[in-house]
Amino acid sequence: MKALKIIAPVLALGLSFTAIANAKDTLSVRSAKQLTNKVRQVTYSCPTGDTVQVNYGFNDQGLPTYAEANLGGKTRFLPLNWTESGGEAMTFGDDKDWQIFGVYLQPDNDRHSGIHIYPDAEPSYRCDVVGTKRIKG
């Protein structure tokens, strides 16, 4: 019984550290989609000669929630990364995979904001806005 009194708190503490270590800095896909009520599509021209279409989701306050684009041959859903976004910068995705980084984006300034795309945590390339389109809201 004495051993159980010692082991139980140790296990609880270990589980709480595991939860903190595994906590996400980004919104979950489900949360990002639930918070979104406006979607804007922005087309970018990149130095590789490619164009990239990115769909951005925005909530009721006009704050970005996610970016979705075909990157590396796959459609990637990149929720807003809370820890790497702030001030006048925003980052979508995490540092273990693809990321889109740019100036703070709102539905009314999407025509002016270029982005940097970080493929699989490798050096980035900058893409400039070519056009925009309202998808929802």
- For residue 33, the domain's CATH number is 2.40.128
For the chain, the domain total comes to 1
- pLDDT for residue 4 is more than 50: no
Residue 105 lies inside a defined structural domain of this protein: yes
Q: What is the pTM of this model?
A: 0.73
- pLDDT for residue 17 is more than 50: no
Mean pLDDT within 16-37: 61
Residue 56, pLDDT score = 92
> Please, what is the average pLDDT of the chain?
77
**Closest by Cα among 46, 45, 85 to 65:** 85
Q: Which domain holds residue 67?
A: 29-136
Residue 24, pLDDT score = 53
Residue 3 lies inside a defined structural domain of this protein: no
Residue 46 lies inside a defined structural domain of this protein: yes
Residue 71 lies inside a defined structural domain of this protein: yes
